[in-house]
């Protein structure tokens, strides 16, 4: 069945690849990104050329997840053209890396604004129409970083743990409305995310006051990840994430798992399985077990 699919962060990586794949499968896809007439003009033009040459319904649209005005304008245009979307993929994100203390509060705020508040802006913009229709799917891109904590990723971990908690609560609240919410938790993948990872400006030179082991370990992270990406036996092909998202979209409503781990997981799959009974017990303890079941969709 042809779906209307909205994807954020389509200038590269998972978002761009998913937009093309869904459109080629017959969806009407809104491939959104910021800077369609600026920094990402070349990518926007490339997607438009592919859409025209292949005759697929792929529509590039300006959307900056850090701007409520931009998100609301894009949502209004989409709803006006196509009604409530069937699928929203909140893919836009950034990964800050470095010593946590060295990040300013403003830099931490930026990390959270993109990865967490951005998801909220996009979801909130479409939810009235999706709830009114009584069906739909929101897929939030989290990370295995949302289920663990490691040195030099503290700011990024904060954002992805927030995505996890936000998504769990939203899933329960929207279950009675027929709108499903799930998270995808990729491990390390060879996308542009690592290569453009912002580090702290560290104007106070706090990094320099850390022992040599901290500097050596952080420097070695890049080599570790490059080793993963260059190892043909390590699952780091971004196509795996795109295929998993496609599979989730195709699963019948009410049957989708809350969390789906993709790629190198360092035990996160087992961790997720272990906490599922606990999460269910929390809802039961508060008399909210009905929020664990997605309401059936009305006939289209």
Q: Is the pTM of the predicted complex or chain greater than 0.85?
A: yes
Is there a catalytic annotation at residue 210?
A: no
Q: Please give the pLDDT value at position 221.
A: 86
Active-site residue identified among 16, 123, 142, 143 = 142
Is there a catalytic annotation at residue 142?
A: yes
- Of 189 and 213, the one with more pLDDT: 213
How many CA atoms within 13 Å lie on the side-chain side of 189?
Answer: 21
How many CA atoms within 13 Å lie on the side-chain side of 289?
Answer: 6
Active-site residue identified among 156, 159, 166, 167 = 156
- Residue 136 CA to residue 80 CA, distance in Å, equals 17
Pairing of strands 28-33, 58-62: parallel
The class that CATH gives domain 4-292 is alpha beta
Active-site residue identified among 16, 30, 160, 166 = 160
Least confident of 3-12, 31-40, 52-61, 214-223: 214-223
Is there a catalytic annotation at residue 39?
A: no
Using alpha carbons, select from 36, 100, 26 the residue that is nearest to residue 63: 36
Contact (CB, 8 A) for 210 and 99: yes
Least confident of 126-135, 215-224, 272-281: 215-224
Is there a catalytic annotation at residue 160?
A: yes
- Residue 205 CA to residue 101 CA, distance in Å, equals 11
What is the token pair recorded at 276?
Answer: 């599922």
Q: Please give the pLDDT value at position 92.
A: 97
Q: Delimit the domains of the chain by residue range.
A: 4-292
Give pLDDT tens digits for 155-185.
999 999 999 999 999 999 999 999 999 999 9
């Amino acid at each position: 069945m042809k779906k209307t699919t909205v994807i954020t962060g389509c200038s590269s990586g998972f978002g761009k690849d998913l937009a093309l794949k869904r459109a080629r499968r017959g969806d009407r896809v809104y491939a959104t990104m910021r800077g369609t007439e600026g920094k990402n003009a070349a990518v926007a033009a490339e997607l438009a050329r592919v859409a025209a040459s292949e005759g697929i319904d792929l529509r590039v649209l300006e959307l900056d997840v850090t701007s409520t005005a931009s998100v609301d304008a894009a949502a209004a245009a989409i709803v006006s053209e196509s009604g409530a979307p069937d699928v929203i993929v909140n893919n836009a994100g950034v990964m800050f890396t470095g010593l946590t203390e060295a990040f300013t509060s403003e830099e931490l705020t930026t990390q959270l604004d993109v990865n967490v508040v951005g998801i909220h802006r996009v979801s909130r913009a479409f939810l009235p129409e999706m709830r009114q229709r009584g069906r739909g799917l929101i897929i939030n891109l989290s990370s295995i970083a949302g289920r663990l904590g490691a040195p030099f990723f503290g700011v990024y971990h904060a954002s992805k743990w927030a995505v996890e908690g936000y998504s769990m609560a939203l899933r329960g609240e929207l279950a009675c409305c027929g709108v499903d919410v799930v998270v995808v938790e990729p491990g390390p993948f060879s996308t542009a995310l690592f290569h453009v990872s912002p580090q702290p400006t560290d104007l106070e030179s706090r990094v320099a006051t850390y022992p040599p082991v901290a500097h050596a370990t952080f420097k070695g992270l890049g080599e570790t990840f490059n080793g993963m990406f260059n190892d043909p036996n390590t699952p780091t092909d971004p196509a795996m994430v795109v295929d998993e998202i496609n599979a989730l979209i195709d699963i019948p409503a009410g049957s989708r798992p809350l969390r789906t781990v993709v790629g190198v997981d360092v035990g996160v799959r087992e961790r997720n399985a272990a906490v599922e009974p606990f999460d269910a017990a929390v809802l039961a303890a508060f008399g909210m077990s009905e929020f664990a079941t997605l309401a059936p969709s009305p006939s289209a």
